[in-house]
Amino acid sequence: MRVPVAPGSPQVGITDKRELQKRVILAAKLTKVVDGYALTSVLNTNEAEKAQEPVVELDEIEPQWENCGRVEFESVDREEDIQSQLRLGHLNPEERKSLIEACSDR
């Protein structure tokens, strides 16, 4: 359902789960404001359709949530990270050199 957003609300935020009217419930949902409206879910358990359109306020997102979906990138010195994880103790010098060269980006 498209619902109007109160002035001063953030452009991206969370709607609070609450009862708008008796047996009409607004879902808690992460949403974005577009043209003064936010898309959210409303559950109406009444037999009759309710015509009242609620005005909602969005709660700001906590900063640590913004990075949850971000992919971790490889470290700057990938070659050094790989070499530090290799077990080379049991190899002779020629095998060790060959394995390091095979794992090298060069």
Give tens-digit pLDDT for 13-48. Answer: 998 898 888 888 888 889 999 999 988 888 888 887
State the average pLDDT over residues 45-66. Answer: 72
Angle among Cα 16, 61, 2 to the nearest 5 degrees reads: 50
Q: What was the pLDDT predicted at 19?
A: 87
Q: Is the dihedral of CA 45, 47, 49, 50 positive or negative?
A: negative
- pLDDT of residue 98 exceeding 70: yes
Contact 6, 56 (CB under 8 A): yes
Q: Are residues 35 and 11 in the same domain?
A: yes
52 found inside a domain = yes
- Are 49 and 23 in a shared domain? yes
Expressed as residue numbers, the domain containing 6 is 2-60
| Residue 66 counted as domain residue | no
Whether 44 and 91 map to the same domain: the answer is no
Better pLDDT: 106 or 7: 7
Domain tally for the chain?
2
Residues 50 and 93 in one domain: no
10 assigned to some structural domain:
yes
Whether residue 88 lies inside any domain: the answer is: yes
Asked if the structure places residue 32 within a domain, the reply is yes
Tell me whether residue 49 is in a domain.
yes
Rounded-to-integer distance, Cα 22 and Cα 45, Å: 9
Structural domain contains residue 69: no
pLDDT attached to residue 76? 65
Task: Please state, in angstroms and rounded to a whole number, the distance separating the CA atoms of residues 56 and 18.
Answer: 10
Classify 29 as helix, strand or coil. strand
| Rounded alpha-carbon distances, angstroms, from residue 99 to 20, 74, 76, 85 | 66, 21, 21, 12
Q: Does position 78 have pLDDT exceeding 80, yes or no?
A: no
Same domain assignment for residues 41 and 6: yes
User: Considering the domain boundaries, does residue 65 fall inside one?
Assistant: no
pLDDT, mean over the chain: 80
| Total-model pTM | 0.49
More confident residue, 39 or 105: 39
